[in-house]
Structure 1
């Protein structure tokens, strides 16, 4: 599957409904106890792109985007307005928002991560589609800058430093990011009359693994 490095119109995704989905397999034993397991290491996000449509012009923009992606064939970027920063929604990204690794004196490349903490538990989510020119990074509490300090592959989320971080040095980053997705349908069914009357089409979008 090809991936198009283009973002779904952010003004249309603003009103979308969606979020993370997990898959849990549950077996209830004869004793009444449960065994729970999951085949997924990472959540998969789903959205409804139809909920952001407010006008016929919006509908036309959506259809054009859908046709350019050939329906489900090609993936694209999606801005999840509920979760698109390395920090809290009210803040601007800073170079020390997220720990993405520790130096060993040899390694120079580190994939971007977002850590979700609740109590003693931490889930590290891979971030593969950072927004261009939004990434800030640092080593050992000192911010570095792209003009010589590090570079970013915006298609994979890999940060590469000019020199390997020292052994034990904390490697951090802050950024905005998109979710890699595709349409989860090959068909858009809409009536202009019902749309103008307030009925919006369902246009499912699902996260893809890169």
Structure 2
């Protein structure tokens, strides 16, 4: 699958409905207890891109984007307005938002992650599509700077430091990020009459692994 490093128009994804989806396999035992397991290590997010459309011009923009991606063939970036920062939605990313690794004195490249905590449980989500110009990083509680101390691969979500950080130092980062997605259909069905009357087309979008 090819991936196009282009973002679906953010003003049109603003009104989209969707969010994370998990897959849980549940087996009911004869005793009445359950055994639960999941084949997925990470959630998969789904959205309806049609819900953000407000006008025929919006519809034309989406159809052009759909045709340029050849339907389901090529992936693209998507802004999830409910979850697109390393900090709270109302905040501004800081270099110490997320602890992404502990240095071993040898490794120079680290993957961006975001931690989700509730009670004693923590889920670490890999971030593969950071927004260009948004990534800040730190080593051992001190901010370091892009170009001078490290480089970012915005296609894979990795940070590479010019020199290996000192053993035991916390590697931290703050960032904005997109989702890698594709259209989950090869067909957009729309009637101009019904669209003008308020009925928007279904345009499903689904997260992909990259």
* Shared fold (TM-score, shorter chain, > 0.5): yes
DSSP-derived class of the 1:152 partner: strand
Deviation per residue, 1:136-190 (Å, 9 max, x gap)? 0000000000121110000000100111111110000000000000000000000
Task: Please name the residue that 1:54 is paired with.
Answer: 54
The CA distance in 2 between the partners of 1:166 and 1:116, in whole Å, is 27
Provide structure 2 residue ranges, at least 5 long, that are not aligned to the other structure. Answer: none
Deviations 1:109-132 (A, max 9, x none): 000000000011110000000000
Q: Distance in 1 between matches of 2:205 and 2:105?
A: 42
Q: CA RMSD in A?
A: 0.4
Report whether the alignment pairs 1:130 with 2:126.
no
User: Paired residue for 2:7?
Assistant: 7
1:21 paired to 2:21: yes
Distance across 2 between alignment mates of 1:90 and 1:6: 25
Matched with 1:141 is: 141
Matched residue SS, 1:20: strand
Task: State the partner residue of 1:171.
Answer: 171
**Which residue matches 2:101?**
101
Spell out the pairing of 1:14-93 with structure 2 (5 A cutoff): 14-93=14-93
Instruction: Give the TM-score normalised by structure 2.
Output: 1.00
Residue segments in structure 1 that go unaligned for 5+ positions in a row = none
Q: Match for residue 119 of structure 1? A: 119
The number of aligned residues is: 210
- SS of the equivalent of 1:131 reads coil
TM-score by length of 1: 1.00
Query: What is the alpha-carbon distance in structure 2 between the residues aligned to residue 133 and residue 181 of structure 1?
Result: 21
In structure 1, distance between residues paired with 2:120 and 2:45 = 24
